[in-house]
């Protein structure tokens, strides 16, 4: 009788140990979905930063290899790039305000700052495309020299990320419209905001190293 009682009482105890924080970590069971998603997203951001670091390293090595062609100061329009930078940094501010509106469950303000973030990000992409198109038109495309290949690769990689971010933002605004500001949607918006701010930080590196550092 005692053995039967012990067996029946031990079974629930072993099952409940997954949620018991006093149990050893090896017996607590799988982590909550929220923790797994956050951990996975930070790993994604880290891998993206490593990718950009590799492109920065390639540019640092190849920036002086112009093959007799033009160097950075001869082709860069820093006033144009300054406008690009202002658009992207302003979009980082509006993205922060988007996050605050989302936390306060204010759908109208969320839409407004979402639209502002999208407009500023789209302006940045258009300005960047016009800059690269102009360089190609005057014969300074990526095939001209190793320096220009590294430049187009780095700047183009960042532009692709911003374009993906804009598509992501549109998808999130559609989710706000259909699902509301539920915990699931707000969590996804937080992930988007982290991604967008990371792109702003990377662009500051591009602006400082590539454009201001060109000699």
Residue-by-residue DSSP string for the chain: -HHHHHHHHHHHHHHHTTS-TTS-GGGS-SPPHHHHHHHHHHHHHHHHHHHHHHHHHHHHHHTT--TTS--HHHH--HHHHHHHHHHHHHHHHHHHHHHHHHHTT-HHHHHHHHHHHHHHHHHHHHHHHHHHHHHHHTT--TTS-HHHHHHHHHHHHHHHHHHHHHHHHHHHHHHHHHH-S-HHHHHHHHHHHHHHHHHHHHHHHHIIIIIIT--
Task: Kindly tell me if the per-residue pLDDT of 43 is higher than 60.
Answer: yes
pLDDT at 39: 82
Q: How many domains does the chain have?
A: 2
| Mean pLDDT of the 54-72 span | 92
Per the CB < 8 A criterion, the answer to whether 117 and 91 are in contact is: yes
Q: What is the pLDDT of residue 212?
A: 87
With a cut of 70, say whether residue 19 has pLDDT above it: no
Residues 149-168: pLDDT tens digits? 999 999 999 999 999 999 99
Residues 11 and 63 in one domain: no
Using one digit for the tens of pLDDT, what is the confidence trace for 92-128? Answer: 999 999 999 998 999 999 999 999 999 999 999 999 9
Mean pLDDT of the chain: 86
Residue 25's pLDDT is 62
Do 80 and 111 lie in a common domain?
yes
pTM of the model: 0.83
Crossing angle of helices 107-137 and 146-179, rounded to 10°:
160
Q: What are phi and psi of 80, to 5 degrees?
A: -60, -45
Same domain, 151 and 136: yes
Q: Are residues 11 and 40 in the same domain?
A: no
215 or 114: which carries more pLDDT confidence?
Answer: 114
pLDDT attached to residue 7 = 43
Tell me which residue range forms the domain holding 75: 33-212
Percentage of residues of the chain with pLDDT beyond 90: 67
At 4, the pLDDT band (50, 70, 90 cuts) reads very low
Judge if 200 and 128 occupy the same domain. Answer: yes
Of 26-35, 84-93, 146-155, the range with the lowest mean pLDDT is 26-35
Answer whether residue 11 shows pLDDT above 60.
Answer: no
- Is pLDDT at 33 greater than 90 in this prediction? no
What distance in Å separates the CA atoms of residue 1 and residue 191, rounded to the nearest whole number? 55
Residues 62 and 91 in one domain: yes
Asked if residue 174 and residue 163 are part of one domain, the reply reads yes
């Amino acid at each position: 009788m005692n053995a039967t009682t012990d067996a029946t009482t031990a079974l629930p105890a072993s099952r409940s140990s997954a949620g018991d924080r006093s149990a050893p970590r090896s017996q607590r069971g799988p982590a909550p979905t929220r923790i797994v998603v956050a951990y996975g997203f930070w790993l994604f951001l880290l891998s993206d930063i490593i990718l950009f670091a590799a492109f920065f390293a390639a540019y640092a090595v190849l920036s002086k290899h112009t093959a007799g062609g033009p160097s950075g100061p001869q082709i860069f329009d820093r006033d144009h790039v300054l406008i690009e930078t202002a658009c992207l940094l302003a979009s980082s501010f509006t993205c922060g305000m988007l996050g605050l509106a989302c936390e306060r469950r204010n759908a109208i303000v969320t839409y407004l700052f979402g639209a502002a973030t999208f407009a500023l990000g789209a302006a940045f992409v258009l300005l960047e495309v016009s800059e690269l198109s102009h360089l190609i038109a005057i014969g300074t495309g990526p095939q001209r020299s190793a320096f220009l290949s590294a430049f187009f690769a780095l700047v183009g990689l960042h532009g692709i990320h911003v374009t993906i971010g804009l598509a992501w933002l549109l998808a999130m605004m559609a989710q706000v419209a259909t699902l509301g500001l539920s915990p699931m949607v707000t969590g996804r918006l937080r992930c988007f905001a982290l991604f967008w701010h990371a792109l702003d930080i990377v662009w500051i590196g591009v602006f400082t190293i590539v454009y201001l550092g060109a000699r």
